[in-house]
Amino acid sequence: MIAPIAAAEPHGKLPFYRHLYVQVLTAIAAGILLGHFYPQLGASMQPLGDAFIKLVRMVIAPVIFLTVATGIAGMSDLKKFGRVVGKSFIYFLTFSTLALIVGLIVSNVLQPGAGMHIDPASLDTKAVSKYAAQAHDATVVGFLMNIIPDTIVGAFAKGDILQVLFFSVIFGIALGASGERGRPIVDFLQALTTPIFRMVALLMKFAPIGAFGAMAFTIGKYGIGTIANLAFLIGTFYLTSLLFVLIVLGAVARYNGFSILALIRYIKEELLLVLGTSSSEAALPGLMNKMERAGCKRSVVGLVIPTGYSFNLDGTNIYMTLAALFIAQATDTSLSLGDQILLLLVAMLSSKGAAGITGAGFITLAATLAVVPSVPIAGMALILGIDRFMSECRALTNLVGNAVATVVVARWENELDPTKFAAAMAGQLSEDIEVPALQAAE
């Protein structure tokens, strides 16, 4: 085993202002104030947020490749790889479907759109048309075919998570099957992990600037007043997502021997980063690093988290059924039980492959409504103005869901170090990103 480049500083020695979560939270507050009192100046801060997200996306592909390839190459039994993948997808399907059902139930009980009596013909659908066009082009077959990259270089050039993951899995299997001949490559990739994660640590220093720019832009362009227009829908969505995390995922966590609140505290920097940027991709490298440091084996982390970013989207699924029924209620569209079941089944398919980036949930909703003619797709114009604020909740819920999935699958496979995990949940690990220790392949 090669020791980390630098040992983590003890938890209590850092001044409070040096903790990343404090800096990001302060930046978010500053961005809200600037956007509210100086809207034009706030809106002009968009490049800061966009630049930070681009910086993070730059390292996502190598982080996934190195984590997955070295993790699989280090597996002594490739049957274990199949079990990890199989258990991951069983988990994803179960809880993604449950999230859709929760959204459906809450919509029927609270009926946030009831009483609005809006005529769909009176809505301006120009702004929605581009999302509908993107949704029209998205088919299940097209999505599956797109997982296979045209070229190896193309997968990394585009930065498509599933394409990079697809190649990384195949390369890792081939590398593991090469035996001693592949050892030099394994050693090289493990050594390359050090500077790549050091790069992630450096980029995270700019997280407060990115969060400030993204939040200032959001408030400056859309205004806090936009939230009040459809506050009931936003409040219903946030409350539903919170209850899903605390009750449903909380029950899963308790059954597997840990506290959901402790896990949330452990990943609070990543959650605040998502809150500031509305993009769960911005937190992907840090989340992978943290889950490995918490005792989840690299092979499990490398498979579950990148795959979960496309297939385990609890927040997006809650949003889809909740928003679809809101539109139906607002436009006085009556939906029978059969219509709602059809909506649920279509959403189960269309939600798979929605990337964890800003606006993807809105596109996926358009794809669902395009197949379910009972709900007028023009009604999406009602929620377009507040989608940015709902995007944050979608991304936050998705992130927590994938963190829970990683721990659960690692525990199922006996690939969770209980000592490290207990220390992480007790807050005894450094809150700063550190370069993970490199372990030789088994």
Looking at residue 228, what is its pLDDT?
61
| DSSP-assigned letter for residue 115 | T
Residue 417, classed as helix, strand or coil, is coil
Among 112-126, 194-208, 254-268, 300-314, name the one with the lowest average pLDDT. Answer: 112-126
Looking at residue 395, what is its pLDDT?
87
| DSSP-assigned letter for residue 428 | -
Report CA-CA distances (Å) from 113 to 236, 295, 370.
11, 45, 20
Q: How would residue 72 be classed by pLDDT, with cut points 50, 70 and 90?
A: confident
CA separation for the pair 24, 30 (Å, rounded): 10
Which one has a higher pLDDT value, 264 or 16? 264
pTM, two decimal places: 0.77
Q: Give per-residue pLDDT as tens, 341-370.
A: 888 887 776 666 454 444 566 777 777 777
CA separation for the pair 160, 151 (Å, rounded): 12
In CATH terms, the fold of domain 19-425 is Proton glutamate symport protein (1.10.3860)
Angle at 94 between CA 92 and CA 99, to 5 degrees: 90
CA separation for the pair 413, 299 (Å, rounded): 11
- pLDDT averaged over the chain? 80
Q: Determine the length of the chain.
A: 442
**What token pair was written down for 215?**
């939040």
Looking at residue 84, what is its pLDDT?
84
Looking at residue 442, what is its pLDDT?
38
**What token pair was written down for 24?**
């990001």
Looking at residue 277, what is its pLDDT?
81
Looking at residue 110, what is its pLDDT?
86
Looking at residue 360, what is its pLDDT?
62
DSSP characters over 217-253: HHHHHH-THHHHHTHHHHHHHHHHHHHIIIIIIHHHH
Percent of the chain having pLDDT more than 70?
83
Count of CB atoms situated within 10 Å of the CB of 80: 16
Q: Give per-residue pLDDT as tens, 210-251.
A: 889 888 887 888 777 656 656 788 888 999 999 999 999 999
Residue type, 269: E
Which one has a higher pLDDT value, 117 or 97? 97
Looking at residue 428, what is its pLDDT?
79
Residue 410 has pLDDT above 90, yes or no: yes
Q: Give per-residue pLDDT as tens, 383-395.
A: 776 777 788 888 8
Q: Please state the rounded mean pLDDT for residues 11-20.
A: 67
Among 60-69, 87-96, 216-225, 315-324, name the one with the lowest average pLDDT. Answer: 216-225
Report CA-CA distances (Å) from 262 to 91, 112, 309, 343.
21, 32, 22, 35
Which one of 5-9, 44-48, 378-382 scores highest in mean pLDDT?
44-48
Residue 121 has pLDDT above 80, yes or no: no
Count of CB atoms situated within 10 Å of the CB of 17: 8
Residue 146 has pLDDT above 50, yes or no: yes
